[in-house]
Structure 1
Amino acid sequence: MTRWPPLGSGGRCVDLHAHTTFSDGSLAPEALVALAVERGLSALGVTDHDSTEALPRAQAAIRATLELVPGIELSSAAEGLDLHILGYYIDAECGALCERLARFGAERRERTRAILQRLAELGAQVEEETVLALAGPGVVGRPHIAMALIQAGHARDLDEAFRRFLGSRGAAFVRRPAFTPEEAIALIHVAQGVSVLAHPGPLLAHVVVERLAAAGLRGIEIWHPQHTPTTMRRLHALATRLGLLETGGSDFHGPGRGADLGSLEVPAEVMGPLKQVAGVAG
């Protein structure tokens, strides 16, 4: 069983789960990199939802003290479960990946229009132009609709917007087109990346992870703001039993929006096994 250095041991840390304005983050890639340098991180994973557009700009902003881990977070679903699959050290220029991401973008726009139609029928109308402006240069998603609902006075905060309207039990929920976690894993591998199950949480059944491991999943996100020490120990034991990599990150979306960048003290030692599986030098 791998024994990582204890938290607070003073070693340099990494954060392998962060978002930019190219999905639902509030910082541009350059600002995210600058913050990672300021926090003294040794590696930063840029993992936007269904998008790799931030990666060239993030790479251009990288400083000598910080390593960029080019990544993505693919949204998938199976048997009523929303499962996100992280891909690390992906080839962002892979043709199959680029083609599928373009389809994701179109599907996201169609889903947004369907949700907005339902909201209008519920008397909570927001304009598509407002949502797209909030999405900025990246892919549009439910968080941007939630922000538009807040601006229009239809919800007090993100939690209420998702609880009343946008969550799986919300009145305006629209299911996304089918894309299974097995398909996400396969797509990441086609792009020469390493697949990792994001934030499985305390309730996900072991049999689900076992099935994904059989489909080629390479790792589990152990460190995450949603994971208590008990959950982390359980996931660590599961990863050990299945021979899976252990990664982690803050799932950073911007200052004041959940956990702060670098706040989870993910040990830099996780990078060695990850890079070995990815076939990356160093």
Structure 2
Amino acid sequence: MDQTTERMGCDLHSHTQASDGMNRPSENVQLAFERGLGALAITDHDTVAGVEEALQAGERLNMVVVPGVEISTMAGGTDIHVLGYYVDYRDPVFLERLAELRRTREQRNARIIDKLQELGIELTMEEVIKGLGRQLEPDESIGRPHIADALVLKGHALHLRDAFDRYLAQGAAAYVPQPRIHPKEACEWIREAGGVPVLAHPGLYGDDGLVREVIQAAAFKGIEVYHSDHEAPDELRYLAMAKEYGLIVTAGSDYHGERQGQVFHGDIGSRQVPMQVLEQLQQARAKS
């Protein structure tokens, strides 16, 4: 029997070294295979640089890999993340749009480093990149978790969460807001690249009124009901919201790998939906 028919679960949210994950894309796929999953989505922040390697690993293992992305946006003063599934990861217009988002992120990173230096912390972006322990590849995205790792390494924070709480989180000493597009624009980009837009982890925004506003303003096709940072009451609320707005129900671990002995946000496969959800996404894609 084909292994993909035996394996019934999908984890539709994972990150790799292409953004702020710790593993190579092929390593994520291997882990998903070992956990018995039937499908894994690669959804790095503002880049699709890890998709090709993941697809090749999926072919070797006879396992479904969904090409995806997670685009950083803002609405109502809150960071909102938009997942895109089955995007054409070679579309030149889409690639240039993502590149512009990464350039904006690089400018923000430079301002964070400046603020840290003003606080008396001797840290450079070269040191942050050196902390990766490897060469930075084209189209990879450097983010705050990498800066946090460098702060821990240099003894300015106890661990990743401490680095965010003291320096990098909103309201912290070295926080710098980043100009972002609206979720509606991200949904349009994803649809124009042949993909399906899904609202990521709504429970993290702390404002269901805003979640409803965003759903109504942007043409989402799905909502991530099951996420590593959602509790059971969150899942019930967003299941009801999915039914109300006719949205596809998705699930994702938001796996980033292991940092300083801790897995962020959840381990691969810790949140799953049935393989049939892939059919729903493909149908939504065909209708777009």
Q: Which residue of 2 aligns with 1:97?
A: 94
Q: Which residue of 1 aligns with 2:232?
A: 229
SS at match of 1:108: helix
TM-score by length of 2: 0.89
SS at match of 2:142: coil
Q: Which residue of 1 aligns with 2:3?
A: none
SS at match of 2:12: strand
Q: Which residue of 2 aligns with 1:198?
A: 200
The answer to whether residue 18 in structure 2 is matched with residue 22 in structure 1 is yes
Unaligned runs of 5+ in 2: 1-5
In the alignment, is the contact (CA less than 8 A) between 1:37 and 1:65 conserved in 2? no
Q: 1:83 to 1:211 in 2, by over 3 A?
A: closer
Letter in 1 for 2:233: T
Q: How many residues align structurally?
A: 271
Deviation at 1:210, TM superposition (A): 4.2
Deviation at 1:189, TM superposition (A): 1.1
Q: Which residue of 1 aligns with 2:263?
A: 257
In the alignment, is the contact (CA less than 8 A) between 2:183 and 2:218 conserved in 1? no
SS at match of 1:18: coil
| Cα RMSD after superposing both structures | 1.8
In the alignment, is the contact (CA less than 8 A) between 1:210 and 1:242 conserved in 2? no
Unaligned runs of 5+ in 1: 1-9
In the alignment, is the contact (CA less than 8 A) between 2:75 and 2:214 conserved in 1? no
Letter in 1 for 2:256: H
Q: Which residue of 1 aligns with 2:175?
A: 173
- Pairing 1:129-144 to 2, within 5 Å after superposition: 129-134=126-131, 136-137=136-137, 138-144=140-146
Q: Which residue of 1 aligns with 2:79?
A: 82
Task: Tell me, in whole angstroms, the C-alpha distance in 1 between the residues paired with 2:22 and 2:214.
Answer: 35
Letter in 2 for 1:229: A
Q: Which residue of 2 aligns with 1:270?
A: 277
The answer to whether residue 195 in structure 2 is matched with residue 216 in structure 1 is no
* Mean CA deviation greater in 170-179 or 203-212: 203-212
- Pairing 1:97-116 to 2, within 5 Å after superposition: 97-116=94-113
SS at match of 2:81: strand
Identical-residue share of aligned pairs (%): 42
2:191 to 185, 189, 194: 189
Task: Tell me, in whole angstroms, the C-alpha distance in 1 between the residues paired with 2:224 and 2:282.
Answer: 15
The answer to whether residue 67 in structure 2 is matched with residue 70 in structure 1 is yes
Letter in 1 for 2:243: T
The answer to whether residue 46 in structure 2 is matched with residue 50 in structure 1 is yes
SS at match of 2:172: coil
Q: 1:105 to 1:133 in 2, by over 3 A?
A: farther
Deviation at 1:220, TM superposition (A): 0.4
Q: 1:211 to 1:111 in 2, by over 3 A?
A: closer
Task: Tell me, in whole angstroms, the C-alpha distance in 1 between the residues paired with 2:211 and 2:20.
Answer: 27
